[in-house]
Structure 1
Amino acid sequence: MILIRHTFHVTEPSPQLVRQTARPLRRLTAGVIDTVVVLLLTFVAAIFIASSSALADDSSIANPWGSDPIVWAIGAAQILLGVLYYGLAHAQWGQTIGKRVVKIKVVSVSTGQVPAFGQAAIRALFFLGAPLVPYVGWLLALVDLTWMGLDGRHQCLHDRLVRTIVIKKP
């Protein structure tokens, strides 16, 4: 029998980054602002996708989106726009509109610089996609955000996944 052992290399943030860590209230405030921005973008996209849905609502706990293709298209547009919004903004400036307002910034733990686009996009996809997992999605999203309050560096699970940290912008 062959035993394969895999060790994950976890990069710890520098003490300087840890001292600059943004507090949960700032992060949550930025999150509310950014949620409004993404919802406005989705609303504009929804206008182009369809003006109304002709199918009856057949959503359930197992399938909260139902089978209406219009609803699925709007949901997909919201995820795509959200990943682009967060991914591009974090990779370019380390900040979204909400983070800019409350003066916080996302940086890579290993470099202290803005994350690469791939890193930022995966971070956004986890954050935005977690609620879509059938049965446990909202629980996963709740654990992701709650982790920020339990973690000494105020990192959410999506931060730990891609090794980012949110800091106060000087």
Structure 2
Amino acid sequence: MSATSPNVVRLYIAGPMLRLFAFLLDVIVLLAADWCLGLVLPQVPEVVSLLMAFCYFWLLHAWRGQSVGKWVAGIRVVSPQTGHPPTLGAAAVRAALSEGLPFVPVIGWLLFLFDVAPLTGTRDRQCAHDMIARTVVVTVPAEDSRMTRFLPRKVS
């Protein structure tokens, strides 16, 4: 298949600021869900909030490669081999590492910093959880994005 074929989609690695923007939106979504759950249950155990965050990222990334924040930011998690959303297993590994590390007693935030530290220093801008799960975060082609103004401009 030639590079000019209409079936070829070029993937562009998402930058750290788009990923941060998406993450902050996801935090807002999860806090709102936690708040709603708190209306039903007077005291929500931390493990329930952690499990809710894990399922949110795991299932949405395996289904579409996008959480709500990633959808708004115009980015997607994909397998670099296929360009499709990660498998259930890869999405579970990714979610467990990215959501679970901060909750490790005493050293959780240090582990989180080690997880995100490679983001700016690797060619594919991968966090450690991306490397272990064999995923990358890419921008969504403009025709598929709802918020195209957040996409990086192509350099000719």
Q: TM-score range by the shorter chain?
A: 0.7 to 0.9
The answer as to 2:81 corresponding to 1:110 is yes
Q: After TM superposition, give the deviation of residue 146 of structure 1 in Å.
A: 2.1
- 1:1-170 paired onto structure 2 within 5 Å: 20-51=12-43, 74-170=45-141
Between structure 1 and structure 2, the one with the greater Rg is 1
CA offsets per residue over residues 121-167 of structure 1, 9 Å max, x none?
22111111101112211011112122211212110011011100000
Unaligned runs of 5+ in 1: 1-15, 52-72
Shift of 1:47: 3.0
Mapped partners of 1:44, 1:121: distance in 2: 25
1:38-79 residue CA offsets vs partner (Å, 9 max, x unmatched): 11112222333325xxxxxxxxxxxxxxxxxxxxx5211111
CA–CA distance in structure 2, aligned partners of residues 41 and 112 of structure 1: 30
Long gaps (5+) in structure 2: 1-7, 142-156
Partner of 2:154: none
The normalised TM-score by structure 2 is 0.79
Deviant stretches of 4+, over 4 Å: 16-19
Deviation at 1:19, TM superposition (A): 5.8
Counterpart residue type for residue 46 of structure 2: G
Query: What residue in structure 2 maps to residue 55 of structure 1?
Result: none
Instruction: State how far apart, in whole Å, the 1-side matches of 2:88 and 2:36 are.
Output: 25
User: Over aligned residues, Cα RMSD in angstroms?
Assistant: 1.9
- TM-score normalized by structure 1? 0.73
Contact 2:21 2:69 in 1 (8 A): yes
**How far apart in 1 are the matches of 2:10 and 2:98?**
22
Paired-residue identity, %: 36
- CA 1:157 to 1:136, structure 2 compared with 1: closer, same or farther past 3 Å? same
